Amino acid sequence: MSELTYSAIIRIAKLGFRALGQQISITGLEHLPRTGGALVAVNHVSYVDFIYGGLPVERIGRRPRFMAKRELFDHRVTGPIMRACRHIEVDRSDGESSLGVALDNLRRGEVVGIFPEATISRAMEIKTLKTGAARIAAAAAVPLVPVVLWGTQRMMTKDHPRDLSRGLAITVRVGEPVPLEGDAVGDTARLHAAMSGLLDTAIREYPQPEPAAWWLPARYGGTAPTLEEAARTDAAERAARAARKAEKSA
């Protein structure tokens, strides 16, 4: 039943792509294994990244199981869908158990998707990565494949109104598996470098350039906040969320 649900979701998504007239370009499919486990590490610039981040895996006839925050599983609409598609719930208060579930999936030969930045990048660049992706891939002895999305932030992201205009260009670039040496910090640095390189190419080759756009990183001439500015905003957001939680618990 779960695969039937997953297939139905994919069909609906593809209808949506066509209805919006989106120009989706996917490159690097040769880097994805056709069989066996693999961990796909995707950058995070939009609320819809899990849809587009799974496209290259779907293109080779496989189904990614994405690691996603618990709130999506608790939601009355998205929760049943996430569970039916056998995505992996991530409880931030118990991250190790989530890693264990991901490992089990990988050892069964599944493709697992992960957002190693953990949260959306307001800077539209690759943020500091968590070491979980490198640790999981090394423990499962599977390829760690970097994937970068560009253009999805124009649809739906933090601090900006959604925009479902027709004809939007979406770029999906798949890179070569990152060499793993068993050192989580070093492996994570190599993953960051690989994702940053893919993103640089995606930005420079994007078919709909717009100088000074809000969705373009500052160092490319856009008006998105720098990584440092975005980090300060993220910290303030976390503090406000913690204060609300403490107030609710009191």
Residue 76: inside a domain:
yes
> Tens place of pLDDT for every residue, the chain, 250 residues?
467 888 888 899 999 999 999 999 999 999 999 999 999 999 999 999 999 999 999 999 999 999 988 888 888 878 888 888 888 888 765 556 678 889 999 999 999 999 999 999 999 999 999 999 999 999 999 999 999 999 999 999 999 999 999 999 999 999 999 999 999 999 999 999 999 999 999 999 999 999 999 999 999 999 999 999 999 999 999 999 888 888 887 7
Residue 229: inside a domain:
no
Give pLDDT, residue 243.
87
The residue segments making up the domain with residue 41 are: 2-212
Give pLDDT, residue 26.
98
Give pLDDT, residue 117.
96
Residue 172: inside a domain:
yes
Q: Which of 50, 46, 58, 42 is nearest to 3 (CA)?
A: 58
Give pLDDT, residue 82.
81
Return the structure tokens found at 178.
């990152």
Residue 86: inside a domain:
yes
- The contacts of residue 212 (CB under 8 Å, 6+ apart) are 221, 222, 223
Residue 133: inside a domain:
yes
Residue 96: inside a domain:
yes
Residue 68 sits in a domain whose CATH number is: 3.40.1130.10
How many domains does the structure of the chain reveal? Answer: 1
SS (H, E, C) the chain: CHHHHHHHHHHHHHHHHHHCCCEEEEECHHHCCCCCCEEEEECCCCCCHHHHHCHHHHHCCCCEEEEEEHHHHHCCCHHHHHHHCCCEEECHHHHHHHHHHHHHHHHCCCEEEECCCCCCCCCCCCCCCCCHHHHHHHHHCCCEEEEEEECHHHCCCCCCCCCCCCCCEEEEEECCCCCCCCCHHHHHHHHHHHHHHHHHHHHHCCCCCCCCCCCCCHHHCCCCCCHHHHHHHHHHHHHHHHHHHHHHHC
Burial of 189 (0-12, 13-18, 19+ CB in 10 A): middle
Residue 85: inside a domain:
yes
Q: Could you give the CA distance from residue 19 to residue 165 in angstroms, rounded to a whole number?
A: 10
Give pLDDT, residue 2.
61
